[in-house]
Each structure stands twice: as structure tokens, then as C-alpha cells.
Amino acid sequence: MPPREEHTIVLETEAEPASEPDGARQDYAGGERSGFALTPRQKRVFVTLALLLAASLVLFLTWDVNGHWDFALPRRSEQIVALVIVGLAVSTSTVVFHTLTANRILTPSIMGFDALYVLVATALVFMVGSATVAQIDPLVMFGLNTALMMGCATAIYQWILGSGERGLYTLILVGVVAGTFFTSLTNFMFRTMDPNEFDSLMTTLFASFNAIDTTLLWIGGGLLLAGVVVVFRLVPRLDVLGLGRERAITLGLDYRKTVTWLLLVVALLVSVSTALVGPITFLGLLVANLAYQLTQTHRHSVNLVAAGLVSIIALVAGQAVLEHVLDHNGTLGSIINVVGGLYFIGLLLKEARS
Amino acid sequence: MITIDALTKAYDETVVVDHVNLQLPDSGVTSLIGPNGAGKSTLLSMVSRILGADAGSVSVEGVDVFKAPSKQVARKLSILRQDAHTTARITVRELVEFGRYPHSHGRLTADCHAAVAEALTYCDLEDLAERPIHQLSGGQRQRAYVAMVLAQDTRYVLLDEPLNNLDMVHATGLMQLLRRLADEKGKSIVLVLHDVNYASVYSDRIIAMRNGAVVHDGPPEAVITDHALGDVYGMEFSVHTLGGDRIAAYFR
């Protein structure tokens, strides 16, 4: 064995601080870390994020109201609720998906989940016909879409992910092809559709940050809550899954069952966010990776909360700045895609070099 | 006892493991040797249910590894494989704590903490316990994974080429550790080895495979011979007795 005592002395007296790697400091007070115990660093991160969140909420609600409180407040509160729901749905589905695919670059959007939701919604109108759709409650329609989406997505992506042995680049390729395929099918149906049906579809399908579909707020919020509860119940399994498929199986995780559950939840959350504001490709990638850098841990309880906070802050602050500074010249979705897209390319290049 | 019955795995036309029947003992060190592509690792992957079998069955103390709940199997058998490194930021102690998952499902009990502390001590990792594993050297990281398997506290411990990428200091250290596990804790260690001399010196039993089938099986005296090794690897060996150990020379 190597001369261990000497090494210990070096660490304790810090005679050679330069040789001590950055993370080698004892971050934890002891071995007790069940529940939600945090390192000092993570505590600082959460306090900062909470302050930023409060600041961006106040900013969003009060900026430029000019005394028209009775007009501004209800409208803005509704917007905030929608942004919070979307933010949490995107961040949670992305963090879960990262663990599921054992990488930090793919997101449900990049793999074509959003496109699949739009396809399912279009196909439903296409098959049933707008006359029938018009008689159906939008909430029932949304429920139907979501249920179909969860079935399709789980079946398709379970097949695509296979037994978890495909490499990152294969998955990206398959995801891009799948996304394009779903979008092409959707466009094909648009073209062959009756104009009235197309019109009715446009009003339900093309929500954006500037035209949030508020009829779905409460059902969306409820589904989000259900999804988040399931995810937090699965946190210990997510942590184990983070060690890789083989180690997870060795440790007695029922891999197939867990993956199916997680895919179902991801599909549910993507349905919620896409129904409310439409597809947003790169938000999840951005907020999840920012959260990982801030928390520096493998623990999902910590990462899920941090990613959720970052996500809400980004959306609320971004929308406030967009409305008041940029005067609606642009959409939050396109800004997120520019920033997130650049970050995505950066991550890919970094991955290719290592 | 692990009972392997007519276990078969084929990729398209290539049969990798061909109707293997074996009984692995409930204690001691058992080594699997054989040339590349003999099916050793595939056999071990199937025994540990990481890889599905095309035909045949495996049971550990009467529990069918493919059909029984994964949790139940995880309390009887663990495997350490040379798979891709974990990307997660995780300390040695946290990694070893994961070994308790089959028993605790994420909520560590007092027993768990005791088992983790014991595993860390046993593998000489107390000083490194709070270090992130990506900062460790190959030998240290291998010991951390062994400690995790130790914390899992299964009777059967399978290791797939655990000496890969280790220098002789760390390789010998690891083999001594595994031998101690078998002798002091009564565990059954089953490992795939490429170095026949480590197999010879540390094993109670050596199983030699070629082309998906078991061709020799017995104590080192029976398998580490000029004839048997020549038969397994298809090259010349000369086995010498050095200080009580049977050492095979194959360098010329």
C-alpha cells in the first residue's frame, strides 16, 4: 500500500494547498444525508435562487403598471401561473430524461417529444373531424391528446432507447430524424386537411408565450402536480439509475418498469408545457445544465428543485424584460432557442473534444 | 450454490455461450479463464441478469435470476463490471452507500451506516471517503467499486476482469483483498481473469472456457498444466513450480 499517513498529513496541514483538488474538501458534515440535507454551497445556491425568484416575480407583477392594478394584476398573475407550470414541467422532464438516457445533452424536445405531441393533436383532429372536435370540451380534448401522447411516446421511445446501450450520437441522430419525421407528417396532414379543420386546429395548437392557452391552466397545473409527485417518489430510483443501467440492475432496480414509468411522466410533462405555450426546444437543456453546474451533485432531489427554480426565473424574468425593455419585439421562445441552441452546440463541441 | 443449466447466448449465427452447465460453489475464489471471445464475460453477464439468455436458466440458492424480482436477486448476488465510468458527481462514501440500496431503498438505516463504514475500512478507503470518484486513480476507483459491492453484502460476488488497467501493485492488492473476502467473510468470489498466473495463485478452482464451452474445470493443479493451458489457448505453455505456486511461462 502507498504511504497513506504522509498523504493525510498533507491534507490536514494544507502544506501543499495547490495539490489538493478542488472538490476534495469535506463538503459534508458527516455521513448523514438522507432527506434533503445540503452542502453549504448548495444552501448558498438555493438562497440566491429564491431571492432571484422573488425579485423576478415582483418585477413581473409591478413593472410599468401605471396604476391600472385591477387590469394588470389578474392578467399578470395568470401569466405567472402559466410560466411556473411550463418552467417546472420543462425542467423536471429534462432532468428525468437526462438520467434516463445517461447523458446531459439530450432533452425530450431535442428527441422530438414536442413534435410528437403536435402530431398526435393534429392526427386526432384529422381523424375525428373539426365538426366533432368543436362539440368536445377543450379540456376533454387535451386529456385525450395527453393520454394518446403518453401511450405513443412511451412505446416509441422505449424502442428507440433500446436496452440503454446506444451511444449519444446515435440517439441525437435518431431524435433529430424522429422530430423531423413527426413534423413532416403533421405538415402533410395540414395540407390535406379541410380549411375549417385547419383553422380550428390552429387556434388550439399554436399557443406561445405571448398567447398562452389559459383555458388549460388548471388542468395543466393538476397534471404537473401529479407528474412531479410521481417523480419525487421515484427519486431514490433515479439516483440509482444515475449510476448507469448495469449498476442499477445489479442493485436490484427493475430497469424496464422504472424506465416505463419515467417515460410516461416525461410524456405527460411535455404534453402540459406544449399545450400551454407550444414547443420550446432548448429551455430544458439550458436550465438543467445550469442547475447541475450550480449544485455539483448527483442527487436528484437537489437537482430537480434547482432546475425548477432556474427554469421559472428564466421564464418570468425573460418575459418581463421582453415585454417592457424590448417592447414585444421578439418572442421568449425564439430568444431561448438562440441562447439554448448556442449552448447546445457548445456542449456538443466540448463532448466531441473530450 | 449458483446452478447454471444449459445457458446459451447467440448473436445472429455466432454462438457465444453454448449450452453451458456449471455449478459455482458457495464459497472460495473461482476464476474463469480463456482466450478473448471464449464467452467468459457473456456468461458472467447472464448469471448476473444484466444480459438476457437465449436459452437455459440460472438459479442462485434456488432463486431464478431471470424470473425472480430483481431486488431479491440483488441481496444474493452482485457483479462488478468494467463498464463506462459514472459521469455523476459522487463521492466514494456516496458510491459505497448505493451498495445498500437493495436493503434500504434509499433510506439508510443504522445497519447500513455500519456496513458502509466497514466496507470503507476493509478496502482501506477511509481517507478517501469524501473525495469525488472522478478524482481518484484507477486503482483507488476500483477499490471504491469493490467497497460498494462489499456494502451490498451478497454471498456471491462476481467480477468481470477486475484487474484491467491496474498496475501490478494494485492488481496484487486487489487479489489479496478478494482472497481475504473469501477466507474471512466466507463469500464466493467468481472472477474473469486474463492473467493465468493470478488465477493459479489465488483460486480454489479454475474454469477454462473456449468457443463458448467449458473445456477444463478443476483446482489449479489440474488446470494450470502445459497440456490444459495449451489446449485452452492454442499456444505453448511451460508451467513451473516456484515457491509452491504453479507459474505458467508463455512469453516465447
CB contact under 8 A, B71 and A244: no
CB contact under 8 A, A252 and B113: no
Q: What is the pLDDT of residues B194-207, one digit of tens each?
A: 999 999 999 999 99
Round to whole Å and give the CA distance between A285 and B191.
41
Q: What is the pLDDT of residues A216-242, one digit of tens each?
A: 888 999 999 999 999 999 999 999 998
Position with higher pLDDT, A265 vs A129? A265
Looking at residue B204, its amino acid is D
Round to whole Å and give the CA distance between A156 and A101.
14
The CATH topology of domain A82-353 is ABC transporter involved in vitamin B12 uptake, BtuC (1.10.3470)
Q: Identify the segments of chain B with pLDDT beneath 70.
A: 83-88
Query: B72 and B164: one domain?
Result: yes
| CATH number of the domain encompassing residue B196 | 3.40.50.300
- Prediction ipTM score: 0.87
Average pLDDT, chain B: 91
CB contact under 8 A, A247 and B98: yes
> Is the confidence at residue A11, as pLDDT, over 50?
no
Structural domain count, chain B: 2
Overall pTM surpassing 0.90 (yes/no)? no
Q: Which residues of A touch B91 (CB under 8 A)?
A: 28
Q: Are strands B245-249 and B77-80 parallel, antiparallel or unpaired?
A: unpaired
**Chain B: closest CA distance from residue A243 (Å):** 6
Q: Which residues of A touch B124 (CB under 8 A)?
A: 1, 4
Query: B23 and B66: one domain?
Result: yes
Query: B125 and B234: one domain?
Result: no
Q: What is the DSSP letter of A37?
A: -
Query: B23 and B142: one domain?
Result: no
Nearest to A242 among B71, B88, B102 (CB): B88
Give the position of cell 438476457: B52
For a pLDDT cut of 90, what percent of chain A falls above it? 32
Domain around B62:
1-76+155-168+178-252
Looking at residue B115, its amino acid is A
Q: Closest by alpha carbon to B229, among B245, B209, B211, B201?
A: B209
B contact set with A (CB within 8 A): 48-50, 69-75, 78-79, 81, 83-84, 86-91, 93-95, 97-99, 101-102, 105-108, 113, 116-117, 124, 127, 130-132, 135, 152, 173
CB contact under 8 A, A1 and B135: no
Query: B137 and B241: one domain?
Result: no
- Helix (H) / strand (E) element for B32: namely strand B28-33
Query: B87 and B68: one domain?
Result: no
Query: B16 and B103: one domain?
Result: no
- Beta strands (DSSP E) in chain B are 2-11, 14-24, 28-33, 55-60, 63-64, 77-80, 156-160, 188-192, 205-210, 213-218, 238-242, 245-249
Looking at residue B195, its amino acid is D
CB contact under 8 A, A24 and B50: no
**Quick check: is B173 in a domain?**
no
For residue A4, what pLDDT band results from cuts at 50, 70 and 90? very low
Nearest to B90 among A26, A236, A298 (CB): A298
For chain A, what are the domain ranges? 82-353
Round to whole Å and give the CA distance between A176 and A277.
21
Round to whole Å and give the CA distance between B81 and B89.
19
Average pLDDT, chain A: 82
**Quick check: is B226 in a domain?**
yes
Query: B128 and B212: one domain?
Result: no
Q: Which residues of A touch B93 (CB under 8 A)?
A: 31
Query: B201 and B145: one domain?
Result: no
Query: B66 and B162: one domain?
Result: yes
Q: Which residues of A touch B106 (CB under 8 A)?
A: 34, 235-237, 239-240
Query: B140 and B160: one domain?
Result: no
Round to whole Å and give the CA distance between A24 and A104.
24
**Chain B: closest CA distance from residue A23 (Å):** 7
- Bridge partners for B91 per DSSP: B132
CB contact under 8 A, A31 and B113: yes
pLDDT of residue A2: 43
CB contact under 8 A, A243 and B49: no
Q: How many residues does chain B have?
A: 252
**Chain A: closest CA distance from residue B74 (Å):** 5
Q: Closest by alpha carbon to A212, among A65, A60, A75, A53?
A: A75
**Quick one: CA torsion of B104, B108, B110, B113, rounded to 10 degrees?**
110
Nearest to B127 among A7, A243, A297 (CB): A7
Query: B161 and B52: one domain?
Result: yes
What burial class does residue A144 get, using C-beta atoms within 10 Å of its C-beta: 0-12 exposed, 13-18 middle, 19+ buried? middle
**Secondary structure class of A272 (helix, strand, coil):** helix
